[in-house]
Amino acid sequence: MSATLSSTRTRAALRTSARVSVELLLVLVMAGVALWFLGRMWSIVWPLVVALFLTTLTWPLARFLRRCGWPPALAASVVTVLFLLVAAGIVALIAVPVASQSGELADGVVEGIEKLREWAAGPPLNIGDDQITGAFDAATARIKDSVGSMVTTVVTGVSTVFSGVVTAVLALFLMFFFLKDGPRFLPWLTRQLPGRLATDVPTVAARGWDTLGAFVRSQAFVGLLDAVFIGLGLWILGVPLVLPLAVLTFVSAFVPIVGALFAGLVAVLIALVSNGLTDALLVLAIIVVVQQLEGNVFQPMIQSRGLGLHAAVILLAVTLGGSLAGVVGSLLAVPVAALIAVVWNYLREQLVDPPQEPETEEPHSGVAVPS
């Protein structure tokens, strides 16, 4: 006998599928609305995110000082000042050696341009001086024609720099207040929320804070690995400014994609100017190998252990974040994915039924009746 479909079960399955689809659609719509509001408030959200990153980086020292009996305001002030001094020291460590050797670098750039011009004039290109002069004249004319767009670009760049300065200042103030009043936030949040939310939201927030700290620490460790290996390669090849380049590599590790490209470009340029084309190509090879190992091996392994995410999930999150929001998306992709995992794990804990304990029969206690 051939089996026939049950109309009752088919209609029930369709109704269940339709209900689940509508609920999923509502969830996606609410997520889209939340992202839209987030984009409208980005001028406030971005300094808040930067302040949270900085706070997770500086909180261990502030916590140590508070445990030693320091008042919260004094501990937060000292840690904030120390952070500013360290940041200024990093900038000086990069800028001072570069400025002291700027003359040699400038002479090397001029010499490199002359060598490039001589090479272009010989075979197989055979480009004459008149052709090079014509190319420069054409470039100059094009620049003159695009003065308006250049002015617009400069104004946009100045606006971006100003916005970055405002974001940095606001993030520092927020970091100070987070260091000072952070431990009082969860108790305050518990008092503000009704019912079960008073337990659920602070628990998720505490787990999210631990996850964010793990991300920052793992990112700092990855940047340290990059700085050590690339700096060691530069030192072996005899490239100048090894220490500033290593520090620049460590700092740029916190900005995915663009940071690595910028630090690598600076290192290759300095190697080209000071040591020649061969060493520049060797430096480029070292940077490419280290960056590939960092991006495909070290970073996924370290962050997967610290964040509880699989290495493949981290790679996919960075790719998706970069395609959706560029550099900022790449920077926030991993912590956002980790926070989503925190929320999902907590929801799963709450939705899973507790295991049923087997019922044990109590032995009957009685008095033997003599026969």
Would the pLDDT of 150 be above 50?
no
pLDDT in tens, 121-142: 666 655 666 666 666 556 555 6
Using a cut of 0.85, tell me whether the model's pTM lies above it. Answer: no
Q: Span 78-106, mean pLDDT?
A: 77
Angle between helices 72-100 and 42-67 (to 10 degrees): 110
Confidence of residue 320 (pLDDT cuts 50, 70, 90): confident
pLDDT in tens, 289-319: 887 777 677 766 666 666 667 767 777 777 7
| Alpha carbons within 13 A on the beta-carbon side of 359 | 1
370: preceding bond cis by omega (within 30 degrees):
no
pLDDT in tens, 5-23: 677 888 888 888 888 899 8
Question: Rounded mean pLDDT of the chain?
Answer: 75
What value, to the nearest 5°, has the Cα angle with vertex 129 and ends 127 and 135?
A: 80
Cβ-based neighbours of 269, under 8 Å, separated by 6 or more: 280
How far apart CA 188 and CA 38 sit, in angstroms, is 24
How far apart CA 141 and CA 199 sit, in angstroms, is 68
Token representation of residue 301: 């392994």
How far apart CA 171 and CA 331 sit, in angstroms, is 16
Cβ-based neighbours of 21, under 8 Å, separated by 6 or more: none
Lowest-confidence region among 96-100, 249-253, 283-287, 314-318: 96-100
pLDDT, position 307 = 64
Domain residue spans of the chain: 41-192, 195-350
Angle between helices 147-181 and 129-145 (to 10 degrees): 70
Token representation of residue 127: 């480009």
Closest of 181, 199, 231, 244 to residue 51, by C-alpha: 181
